[in-house]
Amino acid sequence: MTILTCLGDSITDCDHCFSKDLLGNGYVKMLSERFQEMGINCQVHNYGTDGFTVNRLLQRIQSCSGFASNIITILIGINDIGMMMNTGRTLEQQKDMLVSFQKHYAELLTILTKVTSQIILMEPFLFPWPAFYKTWLPFRLEMSEIIKKLGEQFQLPYLPLHQELNEEARRYGYSAITTDGIHLTEQGQKYLADHLYQALCDNLK
pLDDT for residue 118 is more than 70: yes
> What is the predicted pLDDT for the residue at 66?
85
Secondary structure class of 178 (helix, strand, coil): strand
pLDDT tens figures, 23-41: 999 999 999 999 999 999 9
- 78-108 per-residue burial string, b: 16 or more CB within 10 A, e: under 16: bbbbbebeeeeeeeeebeebbeebbebbbeb
* Sheet strand arrangement including 158-159: 42-48, 2-8, 71-75, 119-122, 158-159
Q: State the Cα–Cα distance between residues 189 and 129, nearest whole angstrom.
A: 17
Q: Give the chain's mean pLDDT.
A: 96
Q: What pLDDT score does 204 carry?
A: 60
Checking if the pLDDT of 160 tops 60, the result is yes
Can you state the percent helix, strand and coil of the chain, rounding each to 5? 55, 15, 30
Res 65: pLDDT: 86
Region of residue 172 (phi > 0: left; psi between -120 and 50: alpha; otherwise: beta): alpha
**Is residue 203 scored above 90 in pLDDT?**
no
Per the model's pLDDT, the better-predicted residue between 98 and 201 turns out to be 98
Among 140, 137, 158, 139, CA closest to 148: 158
Rg of the chain's alpha carbons, rounded to an integer? 16
Element (H, E) at 158: strand 158-159
With helix as H, strand as E and coil as C, how does 62-93 read?
Answer: HHCCCCCCCEEEEECCHHHHHHHHHCCCCHHH
Looking at residue 1, its pLDDT comes to: 81
Instruction: Note the pLDDT tens digit of each residue in 12-23.
Output: 999 999 999 999
Work out the pLDDT band at 205, boundaries 50, 70, 90: low
Residue 46 has pLDDT above 80, yes or no: yes
The percent of residues above 70 in pLDDT, for the chain, comes to 98
Distances (CA, A) of 157 to 13, 26, 161, 194: 22, 22, 13, 17
pTM for the structure as a whole: 0.97
Pick from 139, 111, 148, 122: nearest CA to 7: 122
